[in-house]
Amino acid sequence: MEVSCSTVWNDCLEVIRENVGEENFNTWFRPIAPLRVDGDVLTIQVPSQFFYEWLEDNYVPVLKRAIHTVLGPTGRLEYSVVVDSGNQQAPAVSVNYPANGAGNRRSAVNGFGSDDYSPFSIKALNPHTVNSRLNAAYSFDNFVEGDCNRLARSAGVAVAKKPGITSFNPLMLYGGVGVGKTHLVQAIGNEIKNNMPNKVVLYVDQSDFTNQFLNALQNHKLQDFQNFYQQVDLLILDDVQFLAGREKTQEMFFHIFNQLHQSGKQIIMTSDCPPRDMKGFQERLLSRFKWGLTADLQEPDFETKLAIINRKMQADGIQIPTEVSEYLAYSVDTNLRDMEGVLNSLIFHATLLKKEIDLELAKEVLKNIIKEIQSDVSVDFIQKTVAESFKVDLDAMKGKVKKREIVIPRQVAMYFCKRYTQLTLALIGENFGGRDHSTVIHALESVEDMMKTDPNFKATVDDLGKKLKMRVS
């Protein structure tokens, strides 16, 4: 009675399962498909050359034991390896390799591409010689944590402790320009590199990844390119959103992503938007982006900016008055890169002019480099500042929510709009859910009454007034 290849392979799997861990079994043996059995030779199909190499390098004794148990002492194993040409229009092909055929597998694939090209020319990566392309200045210690980035930082710390093991794989961090994405992902990379020196860590931005891929494509070295990336333990891809519309590059990244993820390697990506808002991407790739954790980094709030300013100045050995750091935190409301530029300019001017850093110098420096600083403040700025101070949702405060914890901050914001803008009462009301001028009048009276009877409330409003006054003075 002829035995089917599926039966033979299932019997082999029973032996293999007893000799490897469950995770390794699911990763390296579940994806294998039996193709045929011819006498004492079983042919199995594996999804890539990398997969084949891994089995040959790590599981030959286990495979031999399984084959000999099921097919007898003369039992042999052969592979059919799926080879991707890198051409999206061309179907994948299969190349047959004998087991333990290190020499044969070279010649079997030399016909694929140029005559002198071997997809196995890249040796195993040495973590001590690979340029990780990380900036050693980026660390968790100098990454200032705040409400704007707490989730992302916590996820980063967890990944750095157990790369590839947590459910945060991939870790997708998104946010606007200058909110600290690159700092955070490089801090993760540096932490892993320092604490786990045997891990191969690689940081690459989208443009370099794309250029490397195009160069490999032109020189018929796609398999070298893929093999290189598949040996990385932590891959950090910055600005992944710029892969949009690049079909072939996406195809290659899809395969690299799959192999790394299946091998328990860690993947980290940054983007300016969450996967659900990405356009020009294959659906199967977007689906994988959502497998792990997606966390956003928002624009820093006042307290976080204040901490960043003080940290930067302390690192440079410079002490600045509290009124200066608060003025800068409120005045620079773009992003952290702009803030760093302002601080560097302030330090330069103080050094050049041999002056102490005070409020007057800070205002003079800012006047020359931040066009957004005007003689008055906008309604948006007042609303944002008040919402941050009272720790309430900005949209709720601007809308029609009538809960007391929202109404009071709304009235305070109206109070400051009357005080620091040229808007009429009717226009102020329009900026708060379309309320009429009588509602604004009531808000002004309520704030003034509460300031007379509640010292804590008065202190809060006075403090807000000082901060807003810095903006207009």
| 336 phi-psi bin (left φ>0, alpha ψ -120 to 50, beta other) | alpha
Per-residue pLDDT at 94? 47
State whether 46 and 104 are in the same domain. Answer: yes
Domain termination residue (choose one: 340, 369, 398): 369
- The annotated binding site is made up of 178, 180-182
Domain termination residue (choose one: 256, 278, 296): 296
Compute the Cα dihedral for 92, 94, 99, 103 and give only its sign. negative
State whether 312 and 188 are in the same domain. Answer: no
Per-residue pLDDT at 316? 79
State whether 212 and 266 are in the same domain. Answer: yes
Domain termination residue (choose one: 246, 267, 296): 296
Scored b (16 or more CB within 10 A) or e, 406-417 reads: bebbbbbbbbbb
Residue 96 has what DSSP assignment? E
- Contact predicate 467/385, CB 8 Å: yes
Distance of alpha carbon 206 from alpha carbon 221, whole angstroms: 19
Distance of alpha carbon 377 from alpha carbon 372, whole angstroms: 10
The CATH number of the domain holding residue 340 is: 1.10.8.60
Residue 42 within any structural domain of the chain = yes
Per-residue pLDDT at 164? 93
- The annotated binding site for ATP is made up of 178, 180-182
Per-residue pLDDT at 83? 55
Q: What does the DSSP assignment read for 219-248?
A: TT-HHHHHHHHHT-SEEEEE-GGGGTT-HH
The three-class DSSP label of residue 116 is coil
Per-residue pLDDT at 81? 78
Residue 123 within any structural domain of the chain = no
Tokens of 288: 């994988």
Q: Which amino acid, residue 50?
A: F
Residue 130 within any structural domain of the chain = no
Per-residue pLDDT at 163? 95
Scored b (16 or more CB within 10 A) or e, 144-182 reads: bebebbeebbebbbbbbeebbebebbbbbbbbeebbbbb
**Cα atoms in the Cβ-side hemisphere of radius 13 Å centred on 168:** 22
Backbone φ and ψ of 268, nearest 5°? -130, 135
- Contact predicate 328/304, CB 8 Å: no
Q: Which domain holds residue 89?
A: 5-109
Residue 157 within any structural domain of the chain = yes
State whether 101 and 226 are in the same domain. Answer: no
- Contact predicate 441/418, CB 8 Å: no
Residue 136 within any structural domain of the chain = no
Q: Which amino acid, residue 344?
A: N
Residue 339 within any structural domain of the chain = yes
State whether 161 and 273 are in the same domain. Answer: yes
Distance of alpha carbon 451 from alpha carbon 432, whole angstroms: 22
Per-residue pLDDT at 258? 92
Per-residue pLDDT at 352? 84
Write out the chain's pLDDT in tens, 473 residues: 567 889 999 999 999 998 888 877 888 898 899 999 888 889 998 887 767 877 887 888 899 999 999 988 888 888 887 654 433 343 444 445 455 543 333 333 322 233 332 332 334 445 555 688 899 989 999 898 888 899 999 999 999 999 999 889 999 999 988 888 999 999 999 999 999 998 999 999 998 899 889 888 888 888 888 888 888 999 999 999 999 999 999 999 999 999 999 999 999 999 999 999 999 999 999 999 999 999 999 888 778 888 888 888 888 788 888 888 888 887 776 677 778 888 888 888 888 888 888 888 888 887 766 554 444 578 888 998 899 889 999 999 999 888 999 999 999 999 998 888 877 888 899 889 889 888 999 999 999 999 989 989 999 998 888 878 766 55
| Helix, strand, coil distribution of the chain in percent, nearest 5 | 55, 10, 35
Q: Tell the burial category of 432 from Cβ atoms under 10 Å away from its Cβ (0-12, 13-18, 19+).
A: buried
How many domains does the chain contain in total? 4
Residue 36 within any structural domain of the chain = yes
